[in-house]
Structure 1
Amino acid sequence: MTYFQSCRQCHLFLLVVLTMTSSGRGQDGTLETKNTDDPVQLKVPDKLIVAIREVPPFAMRNQEGNWTGISIALLREIKVDLENESGHEIDIEFKEYPLAEMLTAVEKNEVELAAAAITINYEREKRMDFTHSFYTSGLGIAVGSNQRRSGWSGIVDAVFSKTFFRIVAGLFFAMLVSAVGIYLFERRQNREQFDKGWVKGIAAGLWWAAVTLTTVGYGDKVPKTLGGRMIGLVWMFAGLFIIAGFTAAVTSALTVTELRAGINGPADLSRIKVATVDGSTSAEYLRSRHIMFTKHPDVDSALASLVAKKCNAVVYDAPILKYQAYQNYSGEVFVLPVTFERQNYAFALPSGSPLREPVNRVLLRQISSPSWDEVLATYFGEGQQ
């Protein structure tokens, strides 16, 4: 083979390679890929069995007994989209479960979908699949309306507390002892200042004791006898300790009253009686932090125990607490303006469910549309989402 023949074969080889390469590129030089996948029709059963539980405002029954709520509104959109993809009508059958049984039904593939306020977490993800999150919030704390107090109301409560009355009674007793002593020494030689008679004389002694104790020193009543002046001397020095002790006791009473009554956030939960829903993420949160709590089957039962003063606070998902407090316990329950332990709500699916992708597409479309804010405002009010 000659040199020229060898070069010619090389050129032909390069030309073939370039031709094959250029066929995968567009005019601008970028790679083009031709989608050769044939569209596969989604296989969806004629009836979707959906696990559900009543968790207003995400899932609840109306007066006609039909299911409604945020999750149900999304489920209707999912139904329409699945019907378009599968090419046939789909019926939805709701099966109501408690929370633990609902998750078990999803895990065992007894239902196609679970639609309620279901929080995504690590332990649940190991048992089942979840769609994209359609609502994000956190845990909240509901307290009785009597706990919603201003600084002044806390002071008023402390002033009228038993501890404060005991402090005032002790101070008055000390003044009374001083007043009786000064009267006994001054009643004969100093009648113009300490009136004749036990009632008026002791009353004058109380006035002198109060003026001396507070170091106001009006000078309208001055002991003249040696015994009276000795009592006055002792009372003046004792007054320094009495005033200091009185100030410390009042401050302590105000602080203790505020600590007992005030619940400001999760840091206060360890010292009060807490209630929550059994099997919920809020129960897991409390258990992980070794906070004792009372178990309830649902949030309504927990809030009822709060109103009945069987507990001091209810810990649960903040949006559900706000909705329940507004709808059913207005004026009786107050939800603190603080959220913690972020919560992401999603639909639960059996592991490997073919519905996950089509449901995710519907969720992404809905929660990014302007109408989604209107849906949330319908249930939570403006600015409460």
Structure 2
Amino acid sequence: MRSIRHLLSRITAPLLLAAATAFGPAVAQPAAPAKAPAAAASAAVDTPRKPGVLRVAVKPAKPFAYEENGQWKGYSVELWNAIAQQEQWQFEWVPMDTVPQTLEALQKGQVDVGVGALSITEEREKVLDFSHPFFESGLQIMSPVASAGSIWVALQGLASAPVLGGFGALVLALLLVSWLLWWFEHKDNEESFPAPAWIGFKESLWWSTNILIAGGCENKSPNGTPGRLLAVVWMLGGIAFTSYITAVFTSTLTVTRLNTQVRGMADLQGQIVGTVEGSSSDAYLNKLGGIPVEGHDSVDSAMAALLKKDVKAVVYDAPMLRYWMSTHPAENEKVALAGDTFARQHYGFALPVGSAKRKEINETLLQLRGSGFLEDLEKRWFGSIQAPLSQ
């Protein structure tokens, strides 16, 4: 029986994806875009319920949920459409302005499901139920790109680990070759490499340095076979090694010139940071302390403040920051993601405590995951965005 259900889910998954993409909700059309979203949401939750029709709160958060030409679209929207179609549920969208508004409506039982980019957190699970997670996320920092012409940026390039390591290896190789050359030559070629160790080593070091920089040394040359073989190896190796060090320095300096002004959360202490008000990133920053937080109603608003330099950085969900960058290529020279993803979290559908729909949603999610529907959905929405988080 399980194999039959699995086969059916494999067959129906492409059909569900196509239907979710092309037609939106299978059994109910989304609400028309409201001119005054807050008032519309308040009015919607206060109106009498339609028998047999679920109320689905949706908080705009590109690319997971957004309204376009009167239709709701996005990763989470398409996933919910597929679940509703498979379960044959009728529903209506209830647009929400903020995450707190969405959570409050769920707590009061004014809506049945919350759809968008809702992070599953310990605090929220105390007052709400969540479906199985369907997307892995986390927080990341967006910061202005450092000035390309600053002396500090150049010094950062010189002091980087690859460059310092390369120079260190070059110095060690230079000293080793100089010592070996003196050892091979000081008995039979004392004129060029005198027998006293310290004097002879200085002469061989002079020879090795000239070979490395100028490609030759007119007044000195090894006479013995071991010394000449070492000279050939050093000449060829020196060219390759110098080219490598130059390439490492150039690439490191280029990356550093495009680096961000902020490297991590430690750089944000005492600095004004933008985020989306009421989001999990807002809660994280306030709990962390020491960082003045400026709340915005959307990631677009927060990024506008960053571009105007009203805030030092923006801290928000990594997938949405990456999506913003992919849809604003002209701004990629001005801002960039800083550091790695931190405060890992997952997105899920939010429900009132004790909701009977939770079990059905979870069962359908497992079927869609097993059929490859979630994988196909993620590739379509995030395939062009570098380093998706849910791999």
Normalised by the length of structure 1, the TM-score is 0.56
One-letter identity of the residue aligned with 1:78:
I
Paired residues, number: 237
SS in 2 for 1:71: helix
Alignment of 1:215-226 (within 5 A): none
The aligned counterpart of 1:250 is none
Q: Tell me how far 1:337 sits from its aligned partner.
A: 4.7
The aligned counterpart of 1:54 is 60
The aligned counterpart of 2:323 is 323
Matched, 1:384 2:383: no
Write the distance in 1 (CA, Å) between the matches of 2:102 and 2:77. Answer: 16
Q: 1:268 to 1:358 in 2, by over 3 A?
A: same
Identity rate of aligned residues, in percent?
A: 34
Matched, 1:68 2:108: no
Write the distance in 2 (CA, Å) between the matches of 1:150 and 1:125. Answer: 49
**Contact conserved, 1:305 with 1:311, CA < 8 A, in 2?**
yes
Q: Which runs of 5+ in 2 are unaligned?
A: 1-49, 158-256
The aligned counterpart of 2:363 is 361
Write the distance in 2 (CA, Å) between the matches of 1:376 and 1:140. Answer: 20
The aligned counterpart of 2:186 is none
The aligned counterpart of 1:311 is 311
Write the distance in 1 (CA, Å) between the matches of 2:130 and 2:304. Answer: 32
Q: CA RMSD in A?
A: 3.0
**Contact conserved, 2:274 with 2:314, CA < 8 A, in 1?**
yes
SS in 2 for 1:315: strand
Q: Tell me how far 1:381 sits from its aligned partner.
A: 2.2
Write the distance in 1 (CA, Å) between the matches of 2:90 and 2:373. Answer: 24
Q: Tell me how far 1:283 sits from its aligned partner.
A: 1.3
Q: Tell me how far 1:296 sits from its aligned partner.
A: 1.3
The aligned counterpart of 1:263 is 262
One-letter identity of the residue aligned with 1:306:
L
Write the distance in 2 (CA, Å) between the matches of 1:323 and 1:273. Answer: 23
**Contact conserved, 1:51 with 1:97, CA < 8 A, in 2?**
no
Q: 1:371 to 1:131 in 2, by over 3 A?
A: closer
1:171-228 Cα deviation digits (max 9, x unpaired): xxxxxxxxxxxxxxxxxxxxxxxxxxxxxxxxxxxxxxxxxxxxxxxxxxxxxxxxxx
Q: Tell me how far 1:152 sits from its aligned partner.
A: 8.0
Write the distance in 1 (CA, Å) between the matches of 2:135 and 2:352. Answer: 20
Write the distance in 2 (CA, Å) between the matches of 1:75 and 1:154. Answer: 47
**Contact conserved, 1:49 with 1:93, CA < 8 A, in 2?**
yes
Write the distance in 1 (CA, Å) between the matches of 2:346 and 2:147. Answer: 28
Write the distance in 2 (CA, Å) between the matches of 1:73 and 1:92. Answer: 14
The aligned counterpart of 2:82 is 77
One-letter identity of the residue aligned with 2:64:
F
SS in 2 for 1:314: strand
The aligned counterpart of 1:346 is 348
The aligned counterpart of 2:198 is none
One-letter identity of the residue aligned with 1:49:
R
Larger radius of gyration: 1
Write the distance in 1 (CA, Å) between the matches of 2:272 and 2:74. Answer: 31
Q: 1:378 to 1:149 in 2, by over 3 A?
A: farther
Q: 1:149 to 1:134 in 2, by over 3 A?
A: farther
Write the distance in 1 (CA, Å) between the matches of 2:149 and 2:102. Answer: 42
Write the distance in 2 (CA, Å) between the matches of 1:153 and 1:324. Answer: 29
Matched, 1:147 2:146: yes
Q: Which runs of 5+ in 1 are unaligned?
A: 1-43, 84-88, 159-257
The aligned counterpart of 1:273 is 272
The aligned counterpart of 1:113 is 113
Write the distance in 1 (CA, Å) between the matches of 2:326 and 2:260. Answer: 23
**Contact conserved, 1:77 with 1:362, CA < 8 A, in 2?**
no
Q: Tell me how far 1:157 sits from its aligned partner.
A: 10
One-letter identity of the residue aligned with 2:87:
L
Matched, 1:128 2:136: no
Normalised by the length of structure 2, the TM-score is 0.55
The aligned counterpart of 1:284 is 283
One-letter identity of the residue aligned with 1:358:
E
Alignment of 1:241-256 (within 5 A): none
One-letter identity of the residue aligned with 2:61:
V
Q: 1:153 to 1:376 in 2, by over 3 A?
A: farther
Q: Tell me how far 1:134 sits from its aligned partner.
A: 0.5
Write the distance in 1 (CA, Å) between the matches of 2:380 and 2:146. Answer: 28
Write the distance in 2 (CA, Å) between the matches of 1:306 and 1:121. Answer: 27
Write the distance in 1 (CA, Å) between the matches of 2:135 and 2:51. Answer: 28
1:254-307 Cα deviation digits (max 9, x unpaired): xxxx9x973112222215331111111111111111122212122111111001
**Contact conserved, 1:45 with 1:90, CA < 8 A, in 2?**
no
SS in 1 for 2:315: strand
The aligned counterpart of 1:96 is 96
Q: 1:357 to 1:157 in 2, by over 3 A?
A: closer
One-letter identity of the residue aligned with 1:280:
S
Q: Tell me how far 1:156 sits from its aligned partner.
A: 7.5
